[in-house]
Chain A
Amino acid sequence: MPNAARHVKFISRTVLVRNDNVDEAMRLLNRLMGREGLLDQYRRTRYYEKPYQVRRRVNYEKCQAIYNEDMQRKIQFIMRKNRVDPFPGCS
Chain B
Amino acid sequence: MNFPTLFRQFRVLTTALPMRQSALEAGRISQQSCCFPVVENRRWKSEDRRVLIQSMPIKDMGTQGEKQLDVDLVNISKENVYPDADTPNMLFDGVRFADLPICHIKASKNNTIMQVTNSLGVLIAYRSCGMDGFKNTRKGTNIAAQTTAVAISGVAKGKGVTTVRVKVQGLGPGRMSAVKGLQMAGIKVASVTDNTPISFTPPRPRKARRL
Partners in one complex: yes
- Give every chain A residue within 8 A of B95 (Cβ-Cβ): none
Q: Is the CB of A38 within 8 A of B205?
A: no
Chain B binding site: helix, strand, loop or mixed by DSSP? mixed
Q: What is the total number of residues of chain B having a CB less than 8 Å from a CB of chain A?
A: 42
- Minimum CB distance partner of B196 in chain A: A42
Q: How far is the CB of A7 from chain B (nearest CB, A)?
A: 10
- Give every chain A residue within 8 A of B207 (Cβ-Cβ): 47-48
Q: A48-B208, A50-B208 are in contact. Are A11 and B199 (CB under 8 A)?
A: no
- Give every chain A residue within 8 A of B188 (Cβ-Cβ): 20
Q: Does B75 contact A (CB under 8 A)?
A: no
Stretch at the interface among B78-86, B130-138, B154-162: B78-86
Q: A48-B204, A83-B62 are in contact. Are A3 and B198 (CB under 8 A)?
A: yes
Q: Is the CB of A25 within 8 A of B199?
A: no
- Give every chain B residue within 8 A of A38 (Cβ-Cβ): 196, 198
- Give every chain A residue within 8 A of B71 (Cβ-Cβ): none
What 0/1 readout, one digit per residue, does chain B (170-209) give for beta carbons within 8 Å of chain A?
0100011001101100001111111111111010111111
Considering the complex, which residues of chain A in the window 8-39 have a beta carbon less than 8 Å from any beta carbon of chain B?
Answer: 9-18, 20, 22-23, 25-26, 28-30, 33, 38-39
Q: Does B66 contact A (CB under 8 A)?
A: yes
Considering the complex, which residues of chain B in the window 110-166 have a beta carbon less than 8 Å from any beta carbon of chain A?
Answer: 165
Q: Does A49 contact B (CB under 8 A)?
A: yes
Q: Is the CB of A48 within 8 A of B206?
A: yes
- Give every chain A residue within 8 A of B97 (Cβ-Cβ): 10
- Give every chain A residue within 8 A of B78 (Cβ-Cβ): 28
Which 10 residue pairs spanning A and B have beta carbons closest together?
A13-B194, A47-B208, A82-B62, A14-B193, A1-B197, A84-B62, A82-B61, A22-B183, A16-B191, A45-B202
Give 27 A-B contacts (CB < 8 Å), ordered by A residue. Answer: A1-B197, A10-B83, A10-B98, A10-B191, A10-B193, A14-B193, A15-B193, A16-B80, A16-B82, A16-B190, A17-B191, A22-B179, A22-B180, A22-B189, A25-B189, A25-B192, A26-B176, A28-B78, A28-B81, A38-B198, A41-B198, A45-B198, A48-B204, A48-B206, A48-B208, A81-B35, A82-B35
Task: Name A's B-contacting residues (CB within 8 A).
Answer: 1-4, 9-18, 20, 22-23, 25-26, 28-30, 33, 38-39, 41-43, 45-50, 81-84
Task: Name B's A-contacting residues (CB within 8 A).
Answer: 35, 61-63, 66, 78, 80-83, 87-88, 97-98, 165, 171, 175-176, 179-180, 182-183, 188-200, 202, 204-209
